[in-house]
Amino acid sequence: MIDNAIRGMEFDEYLDTIRRFTDDELIPGEREMVRLGHVPEPLVRRMAELGLFGITLPRGHGGLGWTVEQQVRLTFEFTRASVVYRSRFSTTIGLVSQAVATFGTDVQRERYLTAMANGDCVAAFALTEAAAGTDATAVRTTARRSGDGYVLNGSKRFITNGAWADVLMVFAVTDESNGALSAFLVDRTAPGVTTRLPEQMNGHAEGPIAEIVFDNVRVERDAVLGGTEGSGLRQAMRGINHARTHVAATAVGQAARLLDEASTHATRRHQFGQAIAEFGAVQSMLGRSYAELEAGRALVLDCAREFDLAGPPKERISAAKLYCTEMASEVADRAVQVLGGEGIVGDSPVPRMWRDVRALRIYEGASQLHERNLARALPALLASK
Ligand SMILES: Cc1cc2nc3c(=O)[nH]c(=O)nc-3n(C[C@H](O)[C@H](O)[C@H](O)COP(=O)(O)OP(=O)(O)OC[C@H]3O[C@@H](n4cnc5c(N)ncnc54)[C@H](O)[C@@H]3O)c2cc1C
C-alpha cells in the first residue's frame, strides 16, 4: 500500500526520496539479496510503500500519475542499484498495467489497476515460448472456446516474476486458422498452471525467470483483455513500447553506477607509484564511458518527452533501447577492465552488474531486431528530420 505521505509529494521531493532509498537501502541491500538469492520481502514491501509499483498508473487508478519523462528520471535513480530490484515490479508497472489501462474493460481496470499500483497484485507478462522468441507471431499456446469460457494449453518460458505473480497476462492463439493472438488475464494459482525456475542464471541471478505450463486451464470469458479476441499482439505492443523505454533508462542507471564504481576504484588503486586514474589509457575508458552515458541519458529523455506528447514514438524507442543497452554493456566491460583481477574475483558489484546488463540487449527486443526495425524505417526517419 502506497504511503499517504508519498501521495502528497511533488515530483522533485519524490525523486529525492527515491534517490535516498536507492543509496540508503537498495544499494546497501544488494549483498543480502545476493546471499538470499532473491529480493527480500521486507524490501519489496518498502518498494510498495514508496509507490514504485504505482509510478506509471494515473491517480484515478491508484497510481502516482507521473509522466513518462518523470518515470524515466526515477528509473535513472533506482537502477543505479541492481536491475533485479527493478525486475520485481517492472512487469507490473510496464508490460501488464499499461495494456490493462489502455485496453482493459471497466471491470478489468477496476479489478486490477489499484491493486497493481499498491503492489498488492504482482503481474507477469507471458508471451515468450520455445518456438516464439523474437518472433512473437509464432506463439503455439492455444485458448479454445469451451462453454462460457476458454481452455488454455501450452507453455511459456523466460517469464519474469512468473513463479510468484498473482496474475499472468497470457498470449494465446484463439483463431487457429490465422494464428491470431488474444491476451488473457489468468490467476497464477488456477488449476492446471504450474511454474518451474531454472537451476542456473547467467545474470539476473536473484530474479530467476520462470517456465509456465498451462494444462487444460479453464478461464472465464471475461478473462480476455478488453473483451475482444484477436487483438493480442497490438495490446502486447502497448506494454512492450513502454517497457522498452524503461529498459533504455535502466541501462543508463546501470552504466552510471558502473562508471562510479570504476572511477572510485581507479582513484584508490595505485600502480607504478600513482593512481591508475592518472594513466591516459584508463582516462580514455572513463572519459569515453561518461560521454556515452550522457548521450544515452539525453536520448532516453528526448524519447520520453515525445512519448508524453504524442504516444509511444516507436522508432525513437528502438533507437534508445538499442543504443543505451549496448552502451551499458560497453561501460560494464570497461569497468571490469579498470578493476583488473577484482573485476573477476571477489564481491565487487561490478562483475555481477556486468553479467546483469548483458541481458538488457536480449529482452524487450534483441539489439538486432531494433537494428532491423530502424534500418527498415530509415528513409522515412531521415525524411522527417
Ligand atoms: C532476463 C530475461 C527476462 C525475460 N522476461 C520475459 C518476460 O517477462 N516475458 C516474456 O514473454 N519474455 C521474457 N523474456 C524473453 C525475451 O523476450 C526473449 O529472450 C527475447 O525476445 C529473444 O527471444 P529468444 O531468447 O527466443 O531468442 P531468439 O528469438 O532465438 O533470438 C536469438 C538471436 O537471434 C537473432 N535474431 C532473432 N531474430 C532476428 C531478426 N528478426 N533479425 C536479426 N536478428 C535476429 C538475435 O541476435 C537474437 O539475440 C526474458 C528474457 C530474459 C533473458
C-alpha 45 – ligand 1 centre gap (Å): 30
**Amino acid (1-letter code) at residue 131:** A
Cβ(33)–Cβ(39) below 8 Å: yes
Interior angle at CA 24, CA 21 and CA 25, nearest 5: 70
Closest ligand 1 atom to 359 CA:
53
The DSSP bridge partners found for residue 274 are 271
Q: What is the pLDDT of residue 145?
A: 96
Tell me which fold the domain 124-230 belongs to. Answer: Butyryl-CoA Dehydrogenase, subunit A; domain 2 (2.40.110)
- Integer Cα distance of 149 and 230 in angstroms: 15
229 is annotated as an active-site residue? no
Q: Within 10 Å of residue 106's Cβ, how many Cβ atoms? A: 8
Q: Which residue out of 128, 157, 202 has the highest number of ligand 1 atoms within 8 Å of its CB and is therefore the one to mutate?
A: 128
pLDDT tens, the chain, 385 aa long: 999 999 999 999 999 999 999 999 999 999 999 999 999 999 999 999 999 999 999 999 999 999 999 999 999 999 999 999 999 999 999 999 999 999 999 999 999 999 999 999 999 999 999 999 999 999 999 999 999 999 999 999 999 999 999 999 999 999 999 999 999 999 999 999 999 999 999 999 999 999 999 999 999 999 999 999 999 999 999 999 999 999 999 999 999 999 999 999 999 999 999 999 999 999 999 999 999 999 999 999 999 999 999 999 999 999 999 999 999 999 999 999 999 999 999 999 999 999 999 999 999 999 999 999 999 999 999 998 7
Domain boundaries, given as residue ranges, for the chain: 4-122, 124-230, 234-383
CA–CA separation, 269 and 276 (whole Å):
6
Q: Which residues line ligand 1 (CB under 6 A)?
A: 91, 125-128, 133-134, 158-160, 204, 209, 359, 362-363, 366, 368-369, 372
DSSP label of 3: -
Between CA 29 and CA 164 the distance in angstroms is 21
Domain 4-122 coded CATH 1.10.3720.10: no
* Angle 88-344-287 from CA coordinates, rounded to 5°: 85
| Nearest residue by C-alpha to atom 23 in ligand 1 | 133
Q: Of all atoms in ligand 1, which is nearest to the CA of residue 204? A: 1
- The DSSP line for 152-163 is EEEEEEEETTTT
The number of the ligand 1 atom at minimal distance from the alpha carbon of 162 is 8
* Rounded distance from Cα 202 to ligand 1 centre (Å): 15
For residue 114, the CA-to-ligand 1 centroid distance in Å is 31
**CA 9 – CA 19 distance, rounded (Å):** 14
Record: fold of 234-383: Butyryl-CoA Dehydrogenase, subunit A; domain 3 (1.20.140)
Q: Residues 49, 342, 364, 371: which is the catalytic one?
A: 364
Examine domains 124-230 and 234-383 and report if their fold is the same.
no
Per-residue model confidence (pLDDT) at position 135:
97
Q: For residue 385, what pLDDT is reported? A: 76
